[in-house]
Amino acid sequence: MTSTPASPTLAAAAASTASALPALDPEAIRADFPILAEQVNGHPLAYLDSAATSQKPLAVLDAERDFLTHANAAVHRGAHTLAAEATELFEDARATVAGFVGAEPEQLVWTSGATMGLNLVAYSLGNAGLIRPGDEIVTTAIEHHANLIPWQELAGRTGATLRHIPARDDGTLDMDAAAALIGERTRVVAFTHVSNVLGIVNPVAELVALARAVGALTVLDACQSAPHLPLDLPALGVDLAVFSGHKMLGPYGVGGLYGRSDVLEALPPFLTGGSMITTVTLDRAEYLPPPQRFEAGTQPVGPAIGLAAAVRYLDGIGLERIHAHESMLASRMHDGLVGIPGIRLLGDAVGAERVGLWSFDVDGVHAHDAGQYLDALGIAVRVGHHCAAPLHARYGVTASVRASTALYNTTDDIDRLVEAVAGIRPYFGA
């Protein structure tokens, strides 16, 4: 089954945006990423799996290594010189990453990643008694499991009802249904900024307006937008948001939870222990204000410093230029894939704003087999349900192939992918 032709509007918009900005030179950028010079199965690596995890530039590797070799110490608790230096670097990293998303330092909680951030919010809301029997939690049918299962669990613990905004056939959210679902019993509206399967940028302003009208909190999954779009979380109006370091050129094991100050102050801690207290007796404890209230235990000092280096790198290139470049790649990928018999693109919404990501089904060939065929040619893609099984069920498939771009991808990467995909069905006799 073949998808519909590309939207002239999308292609034109990508071209217009790109022409208005200084050209991004992906070849020069690639020199900062040593892994991209690797050979895979005798072929140059075409890395098209950045939606799963991004590659890391030398600036990030060097920042974390420099900390570990010159200033490694536990933060916030030592009186010696290294501890003071480590604490300063750690809090400078917080200010840098917070500024990257338009926030103040005290509005950024360090987490191990977006999954922890979403679980922190869900458990804290439940522990605060803010979700009760009869309340409703609204999410969408296109969410990553990390923005679905914590809400399932919260609903189960509290007696609340979980409801879902459906997706249309083209992958866009049904906003008429959203307006009907979000009502006086809604306490939380949790949704992704950009689908990790579809690549479509969702209408944040409309969803925030619907939630605000009924006094509901909004929780944004920004994992697939933070590395690809200019991001100002306070300007978007969301109450809480999460993002993951390893998807935005940073290290593993670190991410951020943004929260409006009054919202964070109203939430109790999720984890307890050291670092997040003011006084402790044998019978009770008192907690620090946010963000430290939510940072129990040993902090991710090196990874946080690495993430700060990553956002400085992204800022140095410019998110507008990155988005324009990746939009061009998305358009080129679409135009190539759509012409291949037996390739069905998921979420081929005409005129929708998107990042450089497409998932597709290969008629007659399982996604895992397709992925192995591409890997043999040095092309790295994602296969499976991408932690979004309900969305794949919506399209009648159990798995898909996902190709996702980043600032370091070239038109040659896309052309190699398209040429290789054209060979999948003939190779398997489909």
pLDDT at 14: 46
Judge contact between 302 and 67, C-beta under 8 A: yes
pLDDT, average across residues 81-89: 96
In whole angstroms, give the CA distance from residue 53 to residue 382.
10
pLDDT tens per residue, range 350-394: 999 999 999 999 999 999 999 999 999 999 999 999 999 999 999
pLDDT at 6: 36
Positions annotated as catalytic residues are: 387
pLDDT at 78: 82
CATH of region 60-315: 3.40.640.10
For the chain, the structural domain boundaries read 8-48+318-428, 60-315
The answer to whether domain 8-48+318-428 and domain 60-315 are alike in fold is no
Has residue 13 got a pLDDT over 80? no
pLDDT, average across residues 234-243: 98
Phi, psi (rounded to 5 degrees) for 346? -90, 130
Query: Measured in whole angstroms, how far is the alpha carbon of residue 201 from the centre of its chain?
Result: 12
Q: In angstroms, how far is the first alpha carbon of the chain from the final one?
A: 12
pLDDT tens per residue, range 14-42: 445 445 678 899 999 999 999 999 999 99
pLDDT at 343: 98
pLDDT at 22: 80
In whole angstroms, give the CA distance from residue 5 to residue 55.
32
Domain 8-48+318-428: top CATH class: alpha beta
pLDDT, average across residues 183-210: 98
pLDDT at 77: 81
Judge contact between 355 and 161, C-beta under 8 A: no
pLDDT, average across residues 184-207: 98
Look up residue 368 and give its two tokens.
Answer: 């895992």
pLDDT at 23: 81
Amino acid sitting at position 210: L
pLDDT, average across residues 75-81: 90
pLDDT, average across residues 226-246: 98
